[in-house]
Structures are given as C-alpha cells and as structure tokens.
Amino acid sequence: MKAIQINSFEEYQEKYTKSITQPEAFWGEIAFNFRWKKKWDTILNWDFQDFQVDWFKGGKLNITETILEENIVKNPDKVAYYWEKKKKKDQHKSITYLELYYQVCELANGLKSLNVQKGDRVCIYMPMVIESVVAMLACARIGAVHSVVFAGFSANALADRINDAAVKVVLTADGLNRGDKKVDLKSMVDEALVSCSTVENVIVLDCIHSNPKMKNGRDIFYHDLIAGKEKKCDAAIMDAEDMLFILYTSGSTGKPKGVVHTCGGYMVYTAYTFQNAFQYDSKDVFWCTADIGWITGHSYIVYGSLLCGATSVLFEGIPTFPDAGRFWEIIEKYKVNQFYTAPTAIRSLMSFDLSFVEKHDLSSLKIIGSVGEPINEEAWNWYYKHVGKNNCPIIDTWWQTETGGIMLSGLGGLSPMKATFAGYPIPGIQLELLDTEGNKIQEANAEGYLCVKFPWPSMIRTTYGDHERCQQTYFSNYKGYYFTGDGAKRDEHGMYRIIGRVDDVINVSGHRFGTAEIEDAINKNEYAIESAVVGFPHDIKGQGIYVFVVVNTKETDENLIKSSIIDSIADHIGKIAKPDIIQVVKGLPKTRSGKIMRRILRKIAEGEKDNFGDISTLLDPNVVQCILETR
Ligand code: WTA
C-alpha cells in the first residue's frame, strides 16, 4: 500500500496538519485505496458526550477482499506467512496469498454448512498456527464476528467470554506446544462448554495428534469440515460499521469487557499504521512476535499486514526455547526486515550471554519495534545496540486493544527518536494531557492523564452488550474525551513518553489484568476472606502481581494456602496471571467507609517502609505496621 505511505518527516508534519484541519478529506483520501463494494456517504459522525461514532457510513465492503482478491490480482504466489514451528527440526511451512484465499474460502463454506450466519459470534481458541489466521478471515468472509481468546486462558475464563458473546461455534485444536510442554486445549473447551448453552458446534484442528475425545453431534474435526468444500466463497457484503470482531480485555473493574471493532474503520487504520510505522516495502519480511490472541496479533500479524500484502513470519514458539537465540536465529533464517516485539522479551533475552545474539546475522533488519508496555532505557539501549547494531530505528509504539491500531510511534526512520519516548502521534490522532481536574497541561515534561479528543477510524465502538459500560469506562472521567487509563508526559518537541497505567490495571509481561479480576478469583478460594492485588516493579515482567490476602482458620499451613490460591487464579483466569508474591495478612488498610487504600499497599509492594503519607483516615492505622512486619 505504497499509496498511503508517508515518506519524510516534513510530509508527516504536513499530513498531521491536514488530519486536524480537514480530517474528513484526510481519511477519505486514505480510505479510497481499499476495495469497497460501495463508497461511503459520510466519512464521520461522532459524539464523545453521549458516545457514538461511525466512520464511512453507507460504505459497503468485505475486509477479506482487500486482503485476498486484491493481493491475488497483484501477486498470487507471494508468501503471506512463513510459519515457524516450536522446534527447529520440525519442518516449517509457508502459505501464499492464493493458498490463503483457497483455505479461507473452504473454511468459510465449512462454517456456512454449520449454519453460521452473518452477525453470529464464533470463538477462536487456538494455537499460533496458520489455521488460526484462516479462521479469523473465514469468519470475516461470511460476516461472522470472531472473538479470539488467547489459548493461555483457563476453561472458566473461556466460558465467561463465550457466554458474554453468546457464541454459536467454537474453533479450537486438540492441543498446542508451549516450550517443551503440551497444553490440552480440547479438554479445556469441553470443561468450559459444560456451562455454555449457546454453542452448537466445536471445530477441532488436529494439531498435536492427540486423538481427542469428540462429542457426538457437536464436535467435528477441521479437516472433516473442509473436506470437499468449494475453494470459492462469495464475500458477505458488510456495512462499514458492522462488527468485525470482539476482543476481551481487562479493565479496572469487573469482568473483562468485549471491545468491539467494526469493518471499515479498522481496515483503513490498521493498514495505514502498518504501512507507515514499519515503512513496509513490498519485498520485506515482517515479524511480529505477539500472539494472535491479543490485539497486537489481530492488527499486525493478521489484518494490517495482510491488507498491505506483506509477507510475515508466524512463530509458534517462545523466545527462550530451545535456547535464548531463537528469535535471532529466525531473523537470520527469513532475513526479517521489520521485527516487532515486547520489552519483556527484550529484558528476558538481554539477561543471557551476548553470544546468543552475536552468532546470528541480523543485517537484514531495517526497523525494530516495541509494544505493550513502557520500554526502560536499559532495554532500549540493548535493543538498539545489539539487535539493531546501532543503525536500525526503534519504533516504540503505544496503543491499546481499544484503539485498534498504533497511536503514538516514530514512522520507521523518518521521525526523530529518543530512548523511552513513544514519539509523535500518528496523523489523525489528537492527544491531550489533562490534570486531575480536567485542565489541559500545556507545559513541557509535566505528567498528565492521556486523553484523545477527536475520533480515529479504528477506535472502540462499544463494549459488547453493554454500551453504558463503554461510556462509563472511557468517556465519563473527562467530558468530551476518550480516556486511555495511561499517564504520560510530553517534551518540548511534542514527543510523548508513556509512564504507565493510572487505574487498577496492571501490565505483566505486556499482558493486561485488572486487579479486581484477580481479586475475584482469589476470593473464590476456600481459605480467602478478602484480598487486594497490586502491581509492583519487576525487572523482567515490567510489573509483577502482589497479593495481600486475609485468610480464615480452616488451614494453618501458609504454603498450602498459597498454592491453593495460585490454583484458584489458574482456574479462573489462567496460569498467565500467576502471582509473584502472596502475603497472608491479618487485615487490609481500609478507610472508615470500607474502601481499601491501594496507594499504601502499592508502596508496601514496592518495598517502601515508612513513607506512607497521611494514614490517619484509616479505620485502623496499626494494620500498616502489621503488614510491614510480615512482609
Ligand atoms: C500499555 C497492547 C508504554 C499501556 C497494544 C496501554 C504501552 C496498555 C505501550 C494497552 C508502549 C502499550 N509504551 N505502554 N509502547 N504499548 N502500552 O490493550 O498501558 O493489551 O494502556 O494493547 O499497554 O494494552 P493492550
């Protein structure tokens, strides 16, 4: 999509100005480059007070036509993905755009044969295999709404998500490989479905040949479903504002919410940001190491990159298996040009011997990216020096599940960069820093709450089934603004640095968890009376999970209590939310009105011993001393 590429910093500045002064003309020109069945009538309608937004109203399209038909006309034999398996000795696989087209159509026809219709929800709970991408696109092809659930979530977490979206069909695999372990996905699905009444069929991909138990009349193997299906399937005609997918993410309160993205705006913005942040050239090989289960995987392993006709690497493994050279070896093997990973991976890999990096030829790299959490200076420098060899720009990309695409980032090597700063807003993104009272912060280098004051095409449309929650979460803190939940500062040149979450969301290894959600899981434990969860700085993970828990007298063995609490969290959320520290306490610091003062607990978790500010409003100020004594 060279047509939408910005080619210099001056051009970026021009485009940025136009995006603010004439947003409709600006986005209209970009949107023109995609395959529409019918062009839009109006570019934008919006209201941030009583939240409602629509982009490209009246436009008709199917996102898979820009991805498949468009790229097949141009270059059918171009590789869409190199699939790199977990183990080096396993054969890798690749798939061209034409093959992808055939596979998507076959599965789309398979879904139709199960009576999946436009608007129906389909849950995808699968490993990092090409069929997961095929599954997402097959849904999009027929207008079904996919809800991908990261395969590290537990059966209970899966059931919650399936029920919230009233899912009709689940796509899964018999199992997956993680490091040297096997995870049995099919039995997780079976367990989840005991409490899900809406699911009619389960499609099972035979991934690890484990001969899973199949339920008669409900379960069908993927290969049986597609057998004999036509390799052609007409694309459903979608309205620009029809739902494309739901992706669940954690917030500061309650259960994870289903962030809804729609067809037209998401298409335009993910392709636009992919092309520009990574300065993608048609011969390049791009690699994003995220999992498809998160928004980074959705937008830059699947949609943005495919819309731009890119060749990507899809990696099933983890960075340290079989050794800490795995990433660098893959970069060398496929001559990767743009590499996109998370700070937690960099921090973990920099703790190994440098020889793991140095023995590989990384000279193909042109741009290296970071996403998911703030990158600390030490990791930034190591990445720049040892991976980028001092001549690859680092793009630190800040964005969220709710924003759909990258909001802040250098554009390849075009814009200036500064360690730990995510840089400038993408054209079209109008940011504001506000103080607690909602006043605009004008001075340089002052911290504030990061808000967005104007819509962008891939922004969240609603939280599935509960628009009021969307309004409350994002548009009620600061009237007229979308509130990101992040704190940030802006330097004298207008570059932004993200400080981190200012709400009760913690970011562990780039994974988002709500403290409330972990507390809910703990409070279901038979020994727990009440709990409070906070984040604390962690060298590798960015933030670790610290649990304070008050327990009953059923059990006196603290180790047993702790391991039982770990099991409860694994059961209700997944092993990915395993706490780093559990401290059994006699009481929690609460105000007279019963509110837990997390500020104090955060300080204790950070290792603070006496500087807690005013604790006179606590119901029982002695609690703090008690907690410190048993820390
Ligand atoms: C954090 C991931 C600093 C931030 C794409 C945000 C970042 C949350 C960065 C969203 C970055 C993401 N620098 N912090 N480059 N990127 N974050 O929804 O706190 O999984 O609000 O989306 O991650 O996480 P999510």
Burial 504-521 (b: 16+ CB within 10 A, else e): bbbbbbbbbbbbbbbbbb
Burial 266-298 (b: 16+ CB within 10 A, else e): bbbbbbbbbbbbbbbeeebbbbbbbbbbbbbbb
Atom of ligand 1 nearest to the CA of 370: 15
Ligand 1 centroid–CA 69 distance in Å is 33
Ligand 1 centroid–CA 372 distance in Å is 4
Pocket of ligand 1 (CB under 6 A): 249, 294-296, 370-374, 396-401, 422, 484-486, 498, 500-501, 507, 512
The pLDDT of residue 90 is 63
The pLDDT of residue 614 is 84
The pLDDT of residue 304 is 98
Residues of the chain with pLDDT under 50: none
116-166 residue pLDDT tens:
999 999 999 999 999 999 999 999 999 999 999 999 999 999 999 999 999
Ligand 1 centroid–CA 496 distance in Å is 13
CB 417 within 8 A of CB 393: yes
The pLDDT of residue 88 is 67
228-255 residue pLDDT tens:
999 999 999 999 999 999 999 998 888 8
Which of the listed residues 507, 513, 576 should we mutate to test ligand 1's pocket, taking the one with most ligand atoms within 8 A of CB? 507
Which of the listed residues 400, 408, 497, 504 should we mutate to test ligand 1's pocket, taking the one with most ligand atoms within 8 A of CB? 400
Structure tokens at 593: 């009105």
Ligand 1 centroid–CA 401 distance in Å is 8
Instruction: State how far the Cα of 346 lies from the Cα of 328, in Å rounded to an integer.
Output: 12
Atom of ligand 1 nearest to the CA of 498: 3
Give the three-state DSSP class for 46. strand
Atom of ligand 1 nearest to the CA of 401: 18
The pLDDT of residue 104 is 98
The pLDDT of residue 181 is 81
CB 347 within 8 A of CB 510: no
Place of tokens 């899964």: 172
Q: Is the pTM of this model over 0.75?
A: yes
Going by alpha carbons, the residue nearest to atom 13 of ligand 1 is 374
Ligand 1 centroid–CA 605 distance in Å is 22
CB within 8 Å of 179: residues ≥ 6 apart? 86, 317, 318, 320, 321
**Rounded CA Rg of the chain:** 24
Atom of ligand 1 nearest to the CA of 505: 19
Atom of ligand 1 nearest to the CA of 485: 21
- Which amino acid is residue 480, in one-letter code? G
Ligand 1 centroid–CA 542 distance in Å is 12
Give the three-state DSSP class for 349. helix
